[in-house]
Chains A and B, each alone.
Chain A
Amino acid sequence: MWWDAFDILLQANFWAATIRIATPLIFGVLGALICERAGVLNLGIEGIFVAGAMAGWLAVYLGLSLWGGVVVAALVGAAFGLIHGTLTVPLGLSQHVTGIGVTLLATSAAYFGYRVAFPNVATPPRIEPFPTLDVPLLRDLPFIGPIAGQQTAFTVLAFLCVAVVAFVLARTPLGLSLRAVGDNPEAVEAQGLSVVGLRIGAVMAGSALMALGGAFLTLSAFNAFYFGMINGRGWVCIALTVFASWRPGKALLGALLFGALDAYQLRIQTIAGGMVPSQIFLMLPYLFSIAALVLVARRADYPRALMKPYFKGQR
């Protein structure tokens, strides 16, 4: 039995599932990280996931291409980001309360939209999701080939986003200003830049990425929209952001680690399920999140201006 537990790690299937589970989290953590680097906590993430999942899927169902659906999801996410940003940045409302409000609003709006579009449907209508990749040469590699062969272009987009966000943050004037505005908005203001503009822009961009995390579920991992399908993934991203110390590379690592634990617990259930209640295994990834937070968050280097509203002319 111990061998079986270890053998899981050698199966290409396990690694493919890890990446699949991690993909929406990668989007979510990147989104949360951008918002928080700019100084705004976005607890709207859970609802924005739902809205992104619903909007992307509906757009494709109504006839748009799959990539069209991706764009629609991003725009819907950005719109909710604009709401959160407007309330928390120029108006300076509590970021916690506003974020929870945005989550409730976005979730309800998505469910309502779904019911309006499909008043009398028992089983959710299906779409044709993103096909798996079939790259010559790559598919012939041992081990790697079968793993890559189970992924879709949407996952590739997630990995691209990690690289782009990392580059923008580290190497461009925009990223520099973003990092500065989450640490000391006065410094940004004193250099003639707009604190409000930077922060709202960051919240919109971050929210768009969060919505992509939701859209991945309906456009790639599954092929339909269900109530309750997000199931706390957004909240996990908030925790993973701290775990990642607000760094894109570590965000990728954290998402993959969480994905691996989730994939592993699914498989270990079939081996040890007879002896241990399955709920114990279901808890594992979340126990990991809590443990990681306890270990990492104590010495975490939070952006100094996180959750502190900035008003011009007040020092």
Chain B
Amino acid sequence: MSAAPIIDVRGVRRSFRVRQGLFAAPRHVAAIDGVSFSVGAGEVLGIVGESGCGKSTLARVILGLLPPSAGEVLVDGQRVADMDRRARARLIQPVFQDPFSSLNPRRRVRDVVSMPLDAQGDVPAAEARRRVDEMLARVGLDPSMGERYPAELSGGQRQRVAIARALVLRPRIVVCDEPTSALDVSVQAQILNLLAELRDALGLTYLFISHNLAVVEHVATEVAVMYLGRIVERRETSALFGAPAHPYTKALLASVLTPEPGLGIPDTGLGDAMPDPSNVPPGCSFHPRCPVATARCRVDIPATARVAGGQSDCHLL
């Protein structure tokens, strides 16, 4: 990791009020609970975990779309919560999972891509037009596509439009929230290669969220594994995939080799007990599903231990 981190997440917690009835007292459910990490400029941090582990909430907090309940997110040395929305937009942009809901169906592709420029308020129309054309070409779309509506495009083309929209302001960070999991397998590779090319050409930093370990191994320089709102292991990609330290990571990696690929959410081999963020187990939150849990795991929250190429939270290390 380079010296000055471009993303610095410090002890972020985000909880949601859940009302269960008119007269029931609202409960608070922590979607992310005490997450800290930093990403150096030019790195690709992959974030993996099952659905419901808080990956997307984390993405939204880092993008400044959701305020954290506690802790703070610094992007390029500034608190995201305090940044002007225009300045924030010039620094960090998202690419979402579903290209069918991430493009406004009532606007032409050209207007969709131009939207961040328009929101800046000081980009002349001719300049905006030129930059949109340039960006469309860059993501591999013919400028004539700009006159079409999203409904006329394929899933892969739509995701290219979403990438063009994210990059038209030349941000330094792109938060990719499952950017390929809604696409056909053949198109996934194209989009991943496009993202890799753009990263090299534009010097981007990616936060790459996915439940697909194969994809993360392909693109990420470092990987963070999330479980129930916490990061349980954070290591360089080759170290993590070569010798996983945390029992949860081991289970995830083992699940990649299941005979039914492409089912999306991996079968972790940990039983059907989906983790419930509203009822986090005491001690190590993973202990009910952990194959090697000891008595201590049920009581004490594990501390962070150093392992080769990173760190992990487990008593057994």
| A, B bound | no
Interface residues of B (CB under 8 A from A): none
Chain A residues proximal to chain B, CB less than 8 Å: none
